[in-house]
Structure 1
């Protein structure tokens, strides 16, 4: 009897879950939020150094130090570089009555190899997710709170903390990357599997989001 009740509840809730997926709106927009580009560019450069990330997420917090996660492709093939970076001191700061960008002190890094297959899938799936959830013409919103900067391939979107199920999946994947950057080989293998499972779920969410748009086309 209990199993029957649970199954019925799952069936009743399933359409609601799909509806939530389809209506997911991330508080993000294309490009840079107003008055943020110089600050964001300086922070990304501090974290990337001479490398050119293919995927990155950078947090510009209202308080505290900036942080980020980035993936750098291996030009010779093989594993990519996963880097977690945390600023040693706040980049965006007041010195006396003058606002400055402090980028002379090296950030703290933790780095690890990430399989190319996992990295390339992250780039492709993140790009699809961000492009679908943030259509062209939607500008990045200004916030006096934390600002999130996402880059996936040639796509940049920025704005507020990503919420709803899609945002939660993105944040879960970021957390798994952070954990993997500071773990041994055995635990990292588990993280890659968890990321793959999260990406599988994200594709289901994205398919649900894309379905209404496809139906609306003549």
Structure 2
């Protein structure tokens, strides 16, 4: 399967990962990095929960996101660098563990004082809809796109860190919008979620049309 990574920060990220992977001690394994990524997601959850006592714990949540990036991005890179790839195992483990990590992060956001839980989980569902599209397309085309229109997991972590920094600097006061009470974080996530689902619908219909045209023009077209 071909891995295609054309995200906004992809080139810089690849250079950073290549630099890091050459300096990891031999006892660090890809599976250990995968576990470290989950630890980072759990640390993010804890950081968000502790913001009930002080917004300063937003920095702990940011550190957790950095740890999550470190483990999630380096595990496959290390396996390829050491030529110890297990393609099916690695692909399966990486994609399933991502579900746990993403859930921990979004639960943390939703259980903090800054984001409503229902909105955080709605944003997670929109993000996972795009992830599912990418995974299903990979099964059909054998091309695994890590990012969509330039955005991938790393860009999402950066956006969350930027949101955390802005909360720490400027706060997140409640806004009344008709019957709803939300923060600017809620509004931002709702707009992002609407974008996720709109993009998902467009991509599904666009690629389904492409596949239909391709198979209808083939010598044999026996339906599904």
TM-score norm. by structure 2 comes to: 0.39
Q: TM-score, normalised by structure 1?
A: 0.40
Higher relative contact order (CA 8 A, sep 6+): 1
